[in-house]
Structure 1
Amino acid sequence: MKRHSFVIPLYILPIFIGTRAEVPNSKAILDQLISSDEPKALAETNFKKFVSTSSPHSSTSSASPLNSTGTISAGSPNSTIAYPFVASLQIKKEKFMHLCGATILSANFVLTAAHCFLKYPKLKPKNYLVAAGTNRLFTRKTKHFYVSSLRKYPNFKPLKGHDIALLKLATPIPIDNVRFAALDFRDTTRKPSNVNTLLIGWGRTKPGVPKDLETVAFRTIKDEECLVSHRFKFFTDSEICAIHTTGIRGACDGDSGAPLIDVKKHKLFGLLSYSRKPCEPHKVYAFTRISPYVSWIKEQMGTM
């Protein structure tokens, strides 16, 4: 085998069968969130009610001090909803099962990765649920919303880009900017490299076992660096590469489809798509860019 040839084992399925040690709960603090003229998007002034204004990349935070692992404690299960725009894509067997992360775009629509629906190809949209309204999965405070329709981007194929899907809910989410909020997705500007971002998701989970929401710090890198230096040969123009920067774990398979947030501009940046191995710290991961799909998302919202 040539030195530079390789295959990226895509963790395309939201649930990974292999076993690893459980990652301790972690949570970083955004200093602000969305500045938007969208009436149902969470405003910066509202977000200040939820979290500290400390920087998520500082070494200390009075609200959530760093522990010895370099992560930030998620707090008690009764704490305020820090990220009310984050949701969980689930199915229900004997217990609720978390498949992927998701982002609330409006009262009726949620965004996630298209590959999240490959594990159970025979399931219909109505078999999926979106869980929201809490920092902690699988508790009585969780509110479930059934999916009524699903649209994956028509050109999506595994390792061929376009890993994005829009869900319409059977009943609307009661957007109140407290338990439930919408995240602004409408920025069509192509995002640059060297931007500090946060992935917000639950990571690996066990069906029915409560787990706190976690954040993972990333920095975006140039496309050329991703292709050449890190040899992501399946990387496409519809994706953005980011390297994990801080903490004990990288992005895990349960984080698939979860939002990558621009720390400074406080808008939706990308969705976790794939990497070589899940959960590895200080490695590169590929995310679906949101900016090329803004028009498509708006079109689907008008026709679904």
Structure 2
Amino acid sequence: MLKPLHAVLSALGVLALSACSTQTAPEMAAALPQETLTVTGTEKAFSEDLSAQIVYGTVTNVTNRPYQVSVTPSNYLSGGWCGGTLISSTWVLTAAHCVDGYSASQMRVRAGINDLTTSTGQLRTAAQIIKHPSYNTSTSANDIALIRVSAFTLGSTVQPAALPNNATESVLDVNGKSAVVSGWGKTETGASSPRALREVSIPITPTGSDCGSRPANTICGKYSAGRDSCNGDSGGPLAARYNNKFYVLGAVSYGPAECRGYGVYTRVNGFINWIAQNTGISAQ
């Protein structure tokens, strides 16, 4: 899927993938509630063609990606800003650049939603934000953060992804394997952000120079017919299924401005100890 628009990494010639938009976020008329939003009836039908592609991906839904959440500033209404991965009922994994400069009270997380413009799903205001202490805004090194929220109610559309231990990592994160990236980011450079959650499968590699020079503990999304994440997908999950579990392998970090492959993802396994120390959540 897609990356952020809000930070151009001039030294690398790449674009940060956080799900930010180039448009100024509209001011909110009133504060949104922290607690669960009322879900009534069926999901609002999408008006766009369901066969349409997002940087050569497809429309999906949170029943397929129940770990997918939206991460946005509290004054940003319905557009995509960043994504995140639920790793427990109270903790979300995202990119550091998605929350950089914001206090916990300024960020909100939504889970269990397909369409960003609806008021369905569950909404929480962040209670705590933990950025990696070595995050580097210039190089995007250690582009990872944690958000603590009051507990989401788990169900078919809201379920955490597992963190990969070394054994799982050795099976899923190798050259020649593919993983799925999902989010509400742009479907191509210059396009408006979609309302519907989308996903795309891309080939990955933890090694090699396909994505050029990049920070340690990152995964390269290799070129494959232009499939990619894009603006607004930052912080969102790069995930794979193994032994009947979804594992989050990476978080969308940055990539070329044209969104046609070679996206870079923070490698979750490289930060397993840091995650466990701050959340108590262990790899599986």
TM class by shorter chain equals 0.7 to 0.9
Aligned-pair distance for 1:296?
Answer: 1.2
Cα distance in 1 for partners of 2:258, 2:103 equals: 27
What's the TM-score, normalizing by structure 2? Answer: 0.72
Deviations 1:178-212 (A, max 9, x none): 1210100142335321111110111139xxx8711
Q: SS of the counterpart of 2:235?
A: coil
Displacement, 1:175? Answer: 1.2
Instruction: Spell out, residue by residue over 1:155-188, the C-alpha distance to the aligned partner (whole angstroms, 9 max, x if none).
Output: 111215211101100x210112x12101001423
Cα shift at 1:69? 8.8
1:251 to 229, 251, 264: 229
Partner of 1:25: none
2:163 counterpart residue number: 185
Q: Is the 8 A contact 1:238 1:289 kept in 2?
A: yes
Mean Cα displacement is larger for which, 187-196 or 152-161?
187-196
Whether 1:273 and 2:273 are equivalent positions in the alignment is no
Q: What's the counterpart of residue 111 of structure 1? A: 93
Consecutive unaligned residues of structure 2, counting only runs of 5 or more, are: 1-9, 24-49, 188-192
**Aligned-partner Cα distance in 2 for 1:199–1:252:** 10
Q: Residue 292 of structure 1: which of 266, 270, 273 is its match?
A: 270
Between the aligned partners of 1:297 and 1:179, the Cα distance in structure 2 is 24
Q: Which amino acid aligns with 2:219?
A: I
Deviations for 1:206-259, whole angstroms, at most 9, x for unmatched residues?
xxx871111122111352333xxx5x22x122111112425x652112010110
Question: In the alignment, residue 145 of structure 2 is paired with which amino acid?
Answer: A
SS of the equivalent of 1:11 reads strand
CA distance in 1, matches of 2:176, 2:265: 15
Query: Partner residue of 1:46?
Result: none
* Structure 1 residue 73 displacement after superposition: 5.1
Task: Select which of 59, 64, 74 maps to 2:59.
Answer: 74
Q: State the AA in 1 paired with 2:130.
A: R
RMSD over aligned Cα atoms: 3.0
Distance 1:240 1:80, change over 3 A: closer
Q: SS of the residue aligned with 2:97?
A: helix
CA contact (8 A) 2:55 2:228 kept: no
Deviates more, 1:290-299 or 1:88-97: 88-97
State the number of aligned residues.
234
1:242 corresponds to: 221
- How far apart are 1:277 and its partner, in Å? 1.2
* 1:297–1:278 CA distance, 2 compared to 1 (3 A): farther
Pick which of 254-263 and 101-110 moved more: 254-263
Query: CA 1:14–1:71 in structure 2 vs 1: closer, same or farther (change >3 Å)?
Result: closer
TM-score (norm 1): 0.68
Preserved CA contact (<8 Å) 1:155 1:162:
yes
- SS of the residue aligned with 1:240? strand
Letter aligned with residue 11 of structure 1: L
Alignment CA distance shift 1:151-1:278 (3 Å): farther
Indicate the residue corresponding to 1:133 in structure 2. Answer: 112
- What residue in structure 1 maps to residue 186 of structure 2? 204
Match status 1:17 vs 2:1? no
1:166 paired with 2:152, answer no
The 3 A distance-change label for structure 1 pair 80 and 113 is: closer
Hey, what does 1:59 align to over in structure 2?
none
SS at 1:254's partner residue?
coil
C-alpha distance in 2, partners of 1:80/1:117? 23
- Aligned residue type for 2:179: T
Are positions 1:155 and 2:100 aligned together?
A: no
- Give me the whole-angstrom Cα distance separating, in 1, the residues matched to 2:54 and 2:231: 21
| AA at the equivalent of 2:12 | I
Say which one has the larger Rg.
Answer: 1
Match of 1:61 in 2: none
The 5-angstrom pairing of residues 54-69 of structure 1 reads none
Distance 1:100 1:115 in 2: 9
Aligned-partner Cα distance in 1 for 2:250–2:207? 15
Distance, in Å, in 2 between the alignment partners of 1:70 and 1:168 is 31
